[in-house]
A and B are shown apart, each in its own frame.
Chain A
Amino acid sequence: MGKPKLKKLHIRQEWCKGCGICVHFCPEKVLELDDKDKAFAARPQDCICCKLCELRCPDLAIDVETEDE
């Protein structure tokens, strides 16, 4: 089994409250807040699928989908 590869970073915009936790802790700076303070994947190509954003998201708004899932 190799490193997991990102298929899609799902973010439920209507659930996201823009707290910025995911942005702050992303080790590869993949995430950013848009002009409406909603998280989005600005650099998905850099994602290493550690899923820390998904685990820590207090709004349960993030789902990191990997190729093997």
Chain B
Amino acid sequence: MAIKDYLRERFFPHMWCPGCGHGTVLNSMLRAIENLALEKNDVVMVSGIGCSARISGYVDFHTLHTIHGRALAFATGVKMSRPDLNLIVPMGDGDALAIGGNHFIHAARRNIDITAIIMNNRIYGMTGGQFSPLTGYGKLATTSPYTNIDHAFDTVSLAIAAGASFVARTTTYHAKQMTDIIQKAIQHKGFSVVEVLTQCPTYFGRKNKEGGAAEMMENYKNITTPIGSKASRENPDLIERGIFVEKEMPEYCSEYNKIIQKAVKGK
């Protein structure tokens, strides 16, 4: 199947701004799904609110466009009912880590078999460029006009601490790596977190003088490095990318099935 077969083409061209990295995430994600040869009927995509959340409208799967920050809670209900389905939950940085932060850490803690993709553009784009929990100290946004004094989360550290059994980071510049990582994340049995640094040239880029889409992507090349690389040891300011955690742990739906067996026996 070609990736176009996974699209709802009638809604194209999509609504994202020119150069928005979210389209590249969609592109890479569909390639991962294509590589895995998943049946369209076996994929459920659940999204929340924001630019990122619109991704669910463009794909020909079972798609659930929910409320702000709660996508993982809805996805948990779907997955627990139908553990055989592949649950993919793309979220923005505000969606996942501000309003949805609690659901994020608890889904990770349960290790439920869901693939969470955090499309981190460091800004609230849909509402016009307010700072998010990933904007970072010293950056500009419409609600931090004198520079941001909020410190950013490190999504990877947060996910690891919360107990996610698969944690990775990549960028829109590294599109091949992104496809590879998302593919592994979907295959992983347990809660998978993939943080993708994705450019918002319209708001974050413009406010912070980071140039257009291509310049912002160039920047991803320059500020990131593979996990444990020599460059990383020499310059701790570089952001590591790659797979940080990939471990086998009891998965929530499987564990609940054991509860059912226990309860049925003891009745």
Contacts from A to B (Cβ < 8 Å):
14-21, 23-25, 52, 55-61
Contact = CB atoms under 8 A, between A and B. Distances in A.
B24 A58 contact: yes
Contact of A19 (B4, B12, B214, B218): B214
Contacts of B214: 19-21, 23-25
Contact of A59 (B14, B176, B212): B14
A58 B23 contact: yes
Contacts of B24: 55-58
B20 A58 contact: yes
A22 to B, nearest CB: 9
B35 to A, nearest CB: 13
Given A57-B24, A59-B13, A19 B179 contact: no
Interface of B (DSSP majority class): helix
B12 A21 contact: no
B12 A60 contact: yes
B226 to A, nearest CB: 18
Given A59-B14, A60-B14, 15 more contacts: A15-B12, A18-B18, A20-B212, A24-B217, A24-B218, A52-B175, A55-B24, A55-B176, A55-B179, A56-B217, A58-B22, A58-B26, A58-B213, A59-B23, A60-B12
Contacts of A52: 175
B252 to A, nearest CB: 33
A18 B17 CA distance: 10
9 contacts: A14-B13, A16-B13, A20-B214, A24-B214, A25-B214, A55-B175, A58-B19, A58-B23, A59-B13
Contacts of B18: 17-19
A33 to B, nearest CB: 11
Contact of B19 (A14, A17, A25, A61): A17
A48 to B, nearest CB: 15
Contacts of B4: 60
B217 to A, nearest CB: 7
B13 A15 contact: yes
B172 interface: yes
Nearest to A37: B18
B16, B26, B27: which has the most chain A beta carbons within 10 Å?
Answer: B27
Interface residues of B, number: 30
Given A17-B13, A17-B18, A19-B214, A57 B28 contact: no
A58 B4 CA distance: 14
Nearest to A16: B13
B21 interface: yes
B225 to A, nearest CB: 19
A58 B13 contact: no
B163 to A, nearest CB: 32
A36 to B, nearest CB: 13
Given A55-B176, A56-B175, A60-B12, A21 B27 contact: no
B7 A20 contact: no
A29 to B, nearest CB: 14
Interface in B29-61: 31
Contacts of A19: 18-19, 201, 212-214
